[in-house]
Amino acid sequence: MSTIMNLTVLRRFIQLIMFIFLVYGSVIVGFYAADKISGALPSLSCAYDQMNADYCALIPLQHQFHHRLGSAVDSGQFLMIVMPVFTTLATFFIMFIILNKAFCGWVCPLGFFQEVMQLLGQKLGVRKVDSLSHTAVDKVRPVKWLMLGGLVFGLPALTSLGFLSDEWGDPFCQICPSRILTTLLSADTDQVFVDTSTPSYMVLSILGDFLFGLTLALAMTLRQPFCRICPMLALHAVFRKLGLARLVKKGTSRCDKCGLCAEACPMDIRELQTDFNHVEKSHDITLPDCTLCGRCVEFCPDKDVLQLRYLNIPIFSADPNYFKKRKKAQKQWDEIKVVNLDTARKVKS
Q: How confident is the model at residue 316 (pLDDT cuts 50, 70, 90)?
A: very high
Between CA 275 and CA 282 the distance in angstroms is 12
Per mean pLDDT, which range of 201-210, 267-276, 286-295 is the poorest?
267-276
**Average pLDDT across the chain, whole number:** 85
- Model confidence band, residue 42 (pLDDT cutoffs 50, 70, 90): very low
- Please indicate whether residue 37 or residue 320 has the higher confidence score (pLDDT): 320
pLDDT for the residue 39: 44
Q: Which of 207, 180, 206, 173 is nearest to 63 (CA)?
A: 173
pLDDT at 23: 77
Whole-prediction pTM value?
0.86
Q: Which of 31-40, 60-69, 268-277 has the lowest mean pLDDT?
A: 31-40
d(CA 173, CA 56): 10
- Average pLDDT on 130-158 reads 94
pLDDT band at 31 (very low <50, low <70, confident <90, very high): low
pLDDT at 214: 95
Question: For residue 40, what pLDDT band results from cuts at 50, 70 and 90?
Answer: very low
pLDDT, residue 218, reads 93
Sheet strands side by side (includes 313-317) = 283-284, 245-249, 306-310, 313-317
pLDDT at 41: 47
H-assigned helices in 220-259: 231-238, 255-258
How many Å apart are CA 213 and CA 217, to the nearest integer?
A: 6
Question: What percent of the chain stands above pLDDT 70?
Answer: 87
Q: What is the pLDDT of residues 87-96, one digit of tens each?
A: 888 878 877 8
Instruction: Measure the CA dihedral 202/204/210/214, to 10°.
Output: 180
Most confident of 18-27, 320-329, 331-340: 320-329
Q: What is the pLDDT of residues 63-82, one digit of tens each?
A: 889 988 888 888 888 888 88
Pairing of strands 283-284, 245-249: antiparallel
Beta strands (DSSP E) in the chain are 245-249, 283-284, 306-310, 313-317
In the chain, where the domains are located: 7-237, 244-335
Taking the alpha carbons of 31, 19, 102, 10 in that order, is the dihedral positive or negative? Answer: positive
Q: What is the pLDDT of residue 68?
A: 86
